[in-house]
Amino acid sequence: MNPMIRLEKIQYAKKDRTILSIPSLSITQGEILGMMGPNGAGKSTLVKILSCLQTPTSGKLYYKNEELSVSRIPLEQRRKWAVVLQQTLIFDTTVFQNVAAGLKIRRVAKSIIKEKVDYWLEQFGISHLAKKNAKLLSGGEAQRVNLARALILNPEVLYLDEPFSALDYPTKVKLLKDFKAIIKNTETTTIFVSHDVTEIQFMTDRLAILMDGKVQQIGSTADVLNNPNPYTASFIHDMSLHIE
């Protein structure tokens, strides 16, 4: 199957220190690729590079087999993707306006915006909050707004950097179920960064383990978790120690 996204010899360095070094990585259409690794492993940097929010020091990025000029991504290209960053960054306006932000930026007609926002608010169970100022929402509600704001754009690729990290367990379980159903229905190619093994197991088809800016193991999620190499085993061991 042709890859949707392909990285080749991507390097990112800061003050002579290599933060990220990925010889090659491919993501196929409709796939949900998980990424795990300790803090500072380079997960967020990789998401930013993949979504062209950060320019790599060197290397090539291909989208549907076409090389992208990583330092100057055309706006139309960027508008095919959606990114949910680690922190919930909500605009100081109503929930409706927050979810509509990306469509307004694309100058979509008001009637279509209304229709789509209503649909996605309902999908995430936050229709009743439409007129509320989004700054006054709880963590779970704000995260739903954040996800709805990304999914409403009908992105070809969705980048999620620890989108559920700030949520309590019951909220997380409910949201994960709803969210997985949505992205499976829409067949959205998704890159999903998380620290949580349960989230990764539930959400992803494939899993990449990052450590020290390198992909240490990649394969089907079940394979990586059941047959970890020494790096993955040590990471999972450290995580379980941390939990205990």
Q: Which residues would be at the binding site for other proteins (CB under 8 A)?
A: 48, 51, 53, 75, 78-79, 81-83, 85, 87, 89, 91-93, 101-102, 105-106, 133, 149, 153, 159
CB of 133 to other proteins, least distance (A): 7
Comparison of 105 and 181: residue with beta carbon closer to other proteins: 105
CB of 74 to other proteins, least distance (A): 11
Comparison of 92 and 244: residue with beta carbon closer to other proteins: 92
Q: Are strands 58-63 and 3-14 parallel, antiparallel or unpaired?
A: antiparallel
Cα 179 to Cα 148: distance, rounded to the nearest angstrom: 10
CB of 37 to other proteins, least distance (A): 20
CB of 99 to other proteins, least distance (A): 11
Are the C-beta atoms of 161 and 85 separated by less than 8 Å? yes
Angle, CA 196 vertex, CA 190 and CA 197 arms, to 5°:
90
CB of 78 to other proteins, least distance (A): 5
Are the C-beta atoms of 164 and 88 separated by less than 8 Å? no
Cα 228 to Cα 240: distance, rounded to the nearest angstrom: 14
Comparison of 132 and 214: residue with beta carbon closer to other proteins: 132
CA 124 vs CA 1, 51, 160, 240: distances in Å: 32, 24, 16, 32
Comparison of 134 and 208: residue with beta carbon closer to other proteins: 134
Comparison of 52 and 215: residue with beta carbon closer to other proteins: 52
Percent helix, strand and coil across the chain, each rounded to 5?
A: 40, 25, 30
Cβ atoms within 10 Å, residue 141: 20
Comparison of 51 and 194: residue with beta carbon closer to other proteins: 51
Long-range pairs, 98-101, Cβ under 8 A, ≥24: 98/134, 98/145, 98/149, 99/145, 99/148, 99/149, 99/152, 100/152, 101/149
CB of 130 to other proteins, least distance (A): 15
